[in-house]
């Protein structure tokens, strides 16, 4: 559908000196589901560079999206949750004025035509002057303001200041509508503004629950099962913190629900694959594919059954934080895999660098452009911070469709039994003591006084919490981990980047 196969390739009237950028941000897409989509692999991974150690700093929609907009950690945006009642969501972003300086405003000021299509920040436009509010920095705006956009049908949209309502026919399917609006923008930009580059932020609601696939893809993966990783329904969680220890083994019914939801997530993602194909077809037909970067990622990962946890996110486990990032475009090495730590805070800085502009000093991230030229910087971060505001992340009001519906049976989304407040740290194999050199590590320090520590080389599925054993045998390791977190947790800008590169003594 909308494949663009009949489009005729043409030479662009003129090429802007700055490249075009198409940024596609999916919702709740984890590495496993991404890797199983053959279309995305052929369209993106095989044609571009994959960042294999790419992380979100906080595994929840609004905090992650805000960090992506501004290139900042949550402790510098102040956004840790999805709704205003808990100090997060669009309403808080708006009231704090964070939208006044984002990748949208920077690129628009640099001469770009900017466009936003799809899911913005959770709760939008609650707290804004009106339902037709358009944040600063966007030339073209198309974002749902009510109804049930997560279900792909029966929703209302702020379409450049006009409220448009969509129903429940095949033509109203949300991701397809976004795809058509996006490709129309690309055609119009090339035809009417041939000397101006464009930047598009494209945010389909998939594969977030209810993960409704379009009718053309429904049933394609019937009978598939969620991956039975070694951590799936983990038999022994006695080494885990209390919030995990308290989880009983998943029941047969819960496992069936996980499998059913996994099927829907994979089938619904096929609509995103169609969108990506349409974009590539359109860029090719317009003669601008060779001057356009396509960046594909997700706002957070997703677990399904690991460590006895039902479908959800918002933990420090790899499934929730390690997300796909693929970039293809002019000069980008095809098939290259980057294993350096990268994060969503780097994306705004990267887009700015591609556009030839300098981002504000408040930005915490760093540019990925050297990797896109096949080069590895001589100095790069050795550790990456992870933050979490605690278990009370249940959306206070989902009735108007503006806040995301809770993930089915997501134990982390329930105020009782979720992960406590924590700070986490991912470390390359660089920490050396008199005992040994450690790494790669995943360290989590909870405000309950509990800890988790995993050697990801020996224990990639995080089955054995080695905190007590390792820190008892080597207290210097504990001191260095805690010092590194303390050096990062309140830092910003260049000081934060310096701290990421500096191993505590």
Q: Which of 488, 376, 490, 413 shows the shortest CA–CA distance to 443?
A: 488
Query: How far is CA 50 from each of CA 2, 281, 289, 325, rounded to the nearest angstrom?
Result: 27, 21, 19, 6
Q: At what angle do helices 61-70 and 347-355 cross, to 10 degrees?
A: 30
What are 84's strand-pairing partners? none
222 CB neighbour count, 10 Å cutoff: 9
Q: Where are the alpha helices (DSSP H) in 193-306?
A: 242-245, 252-285
What sign results for the dihedral spanned by CA atoms 34, 314, 386, 350? positive
User: Which one of 56, 58, 61, 343 is the catalytic residue?
Assistant: 61
Locate 85 and state its tokens.
């009642």
The residues, any chain, with a CB within 8 Å of residue 122's CB and separated by 6 or more, are: 61, 62, 82, 83, 88, 89, 90, 395, 402, 403, 404
Let me know if 61 is a catalytic residue.
yes
Q: For residues 325 and 319, what is the distance between their CA atoms, to the nearest angstrom?
A: 14
What stretches of 370-440 adopt beta strand conformation (E)?
383-388, 422-427, 431-432, 437-438
Grouping H, G, I as helix, E, B as strand and the rest as coil, residue 149 is: helix
Phi, then psi, of 316 in degrees rounded to 5 = -95, 5
Q: How would you classify the pairing of strands 437-438 and 431-432?
A: antiparallel
Q: Which of 227, 217, 289, 294 shows the shortest CA–CA distance to 255?
A: 227
The catalytic residue positions are 61
């Amino acid at each position: 559908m909308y494949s663009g196969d009949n489009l005729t390739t043409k030479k662009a009237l003129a090429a802007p000196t700055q490249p075009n950028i198409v940024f596609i941000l999916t919702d709740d897409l984890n590495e496993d589901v991404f890797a199983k989509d053959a279309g995305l692999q052929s369209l993106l991974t095989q044609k571009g560079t994959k960042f294999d150690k790419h992380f979100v700093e906080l595994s929840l929609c609004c905090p992650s999206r805000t960090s992506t907009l501004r290139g900042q950690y949550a402790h510098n945006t102040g956004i840790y949750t999805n709704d205003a009642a808990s100090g997060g969501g669009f309403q808080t972003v708006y009231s704090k004025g964070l939208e006044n300086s984002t990748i949208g405003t920077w690129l628009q000021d640099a001469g770009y035509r900017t466009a936003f299509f799809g899911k913005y920040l959770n709760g939008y436009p609650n707290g804004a002057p009106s339902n037709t509010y358009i944040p600063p920095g966007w030339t073209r705006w198309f974002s749902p303001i009510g109804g049930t956009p997560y279900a792909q049908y029966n929703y209302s949209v702020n379409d450049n200041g006009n409220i448009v309502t969509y129903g429940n026919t095949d033509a109203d399917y949300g991701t397809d509508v976004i795809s058509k609006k996006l490709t129309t923008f690309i055609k119009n930009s090339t035809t009417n503004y041939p000397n101006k580059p464009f930047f598009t932020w494209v945010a389909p609601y998939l594969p977030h629950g209810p993960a409704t696939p379009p009718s053309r893809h429904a049933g394609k993966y019937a009978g598939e099962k969620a991956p039975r990783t070694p951590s799936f329904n983990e038999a022994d969680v006695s080494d885990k913190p209390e919030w995990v220890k308290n989880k009983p083994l998943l029941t047969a019914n819960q496992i069936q629900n996980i499998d059913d939801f996994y099927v829907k997530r994979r089938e619904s993602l096929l609509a995103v694959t169609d969108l990506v194909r349409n974009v590539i077809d359109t860029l090719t037909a317009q003669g601008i594919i060779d001057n356009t970067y396509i960046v594909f990622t997700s706002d957070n990962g997703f677990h399904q059954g690991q460590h006895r946890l039902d479908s959800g996110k918002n933990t420090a486990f790899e499934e929730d934080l390690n997300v796909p990032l693929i970039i293809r475009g002019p000069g980008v090495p095809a098939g290259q895999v980057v294993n350096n730590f990268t994060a969503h805070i780097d994306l705004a800085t990267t887009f700015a660098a591609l556009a030839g502009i300098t981002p504000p000093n408040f930005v915490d991230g760093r540019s990925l452009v050297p990797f896109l030229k096949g080069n590895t910087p001589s100095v790069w971060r050795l550790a990456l911070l992870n933050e979490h505001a605690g278990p009370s992340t249940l959306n206070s009001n989902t009735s108007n469709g503006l806040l995301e519906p809770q993930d089915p049976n997501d134990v982390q989304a329930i105020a009782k039994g979720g992960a406590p407040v924590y700070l986490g740290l991912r470390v390359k194999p660089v920490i050396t003591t008199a005992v040994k050199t450690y790494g790669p590590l995943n360290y989590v320090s909870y405000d309950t006084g509990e800890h988790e520590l995993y050697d990801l080389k020996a224990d990639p599925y995080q089955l054995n919490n080695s905190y007590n054993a390792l820190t008892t045998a080597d207290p210097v390791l504990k001191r260095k981990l805690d010092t590194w977190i303390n050096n990062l947790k309140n830092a910003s800008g260049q000081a934060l980047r310096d701290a990421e590169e500096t191993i505590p003594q």
